[in-house]
Amino acid sequence: MASGFFALLDDIAALMDDVATMGKLATKKTAGILGDDLAVNAEKASGFVSSREIPVLWAITKGSLKNKIIILPFAFLLSAFLPISIPIILTLGGLYLAYEGAEKIYEYFFPHKHHVETKVEAKTETEILELEKEKIKAAIVTDFILSVEIVIIALGTVVEHPLTTQIIVVSVVALLATVGVYGIVALIVRMDDFGLKLINLNEEDNSFSDKIGRLLVNALPWVIKSLGVIGTIALLLVSGGIFIHNIPFLHDVFHSIPSIVSELISGTVIGFTVLLIINLIKKLKSKSA
């Protein structure tokens, strides 16, 4: 009886060791998506009235948790009954990530002509709450897409391990992604408010608190822009890593090149290739129309 109990403890310890090791690897693999997730959600959670920023962010966070509750069972079912689909979904997701990264770069150098929409200011509380709900829904939809990518990439790192390890590792990564990303977003969107409080802390002009406060207020737009740049590079690196690890030809071609360089090159080249194909399809459709 005692030997069986200690054998069980040994199995649990081995499982926890595997979970810790694979959890670190899965977190590293999903870091690029988390960077993009952070940039996107920081942008979507900003622009609200100061008193509504945290409630709105909490509503988006709850939506993100619901997204992962929906996604995780489907991912584990695929891993258990159709494991060959994981590399395929990973590669398809890599194409989307590479395209998204390339499109952001293209948009920076060749901005699209966006239609200017007439904005009607919301005057009543009902109208403000309606606009708020629409923004929350849009943010949750975006989070769903990014959550699928995070879960599949995390699952791809542990797909060859037992199902128990997969469930624990991917669930922990998904939970950390939500708590970590939205926790940091909360700090970012409140940064300017904290800066204003520092500025109004005393009646002195150009005091130390005033300087720090102005720094925080002026830094917020740059922080969000910087996250966008970092997120774009991360998208290309993550997608490139997916291609190299799942396409033997690319793995052989870039075998002697440092991984970060090979991932960036493959992600960028394939991303712009997909972007070119999609733009050609759009042009053909517009001509036929």
What would the DSSP string read from start to end of 58-92? HHHHHHHHHHHHHHHHHHHHHHHH-TTHHHHHHHH
Place of tokens 């005057």: 123
pLDDT of residue 49: 64
Q: 76-104, pLDDT tens digit by residue?
A: 888 888 888 878 887 888 898 889 889 98
CA distance 16 to 169: 10
Q: Write down the mean pLDDT value for the chain.
A: 77
pLDDT of residue 273: 96
- Amino acid identity of residue 148, one-letter, is V
Q: 25-39, pLDDT tens digit by residue?
A: 555 666 666 666 676
Mean pLDDT of 46-51: 65
DSSP letter at 112? -
Scored b (16 or more CB within 10 A) or e, 154-171 reads bbbbbbebeeebbbbbbb
Query: Is a pLDDT exceeding 80 seen at residue 248?
Result: yes
**Most confident of the following: 36-40, 106-110, 159-163, 249-253:** 106-110
Q: 203-237, pLDDT tens digit by residue?
A: 777 787 888 888 888 887 788 778 778 778 878 88
Query: Is a pLDDT exceeding 60 seen at residue 20?
Result: no
pLDDT of residue 14: 45
pLDDT of residue 25: 55
Q: What's the Cα-to-Cα distance from 196 to each of 164, 191, 224, rounded to whole Å?
A: 49, 9, 18
DSSP letter at 118? P
CA distance 244 to 284: 32
pLDDT of residue 40: 64
Q: What is the dihedral of CA 123, 126, 127, 130, to 10 degrees?
A: 160
pLDDT of residue 45: 65
Q: 252-280, pLDDT tens digit by residue?
A: 888 778 888 998 999 999 999 999 999 99
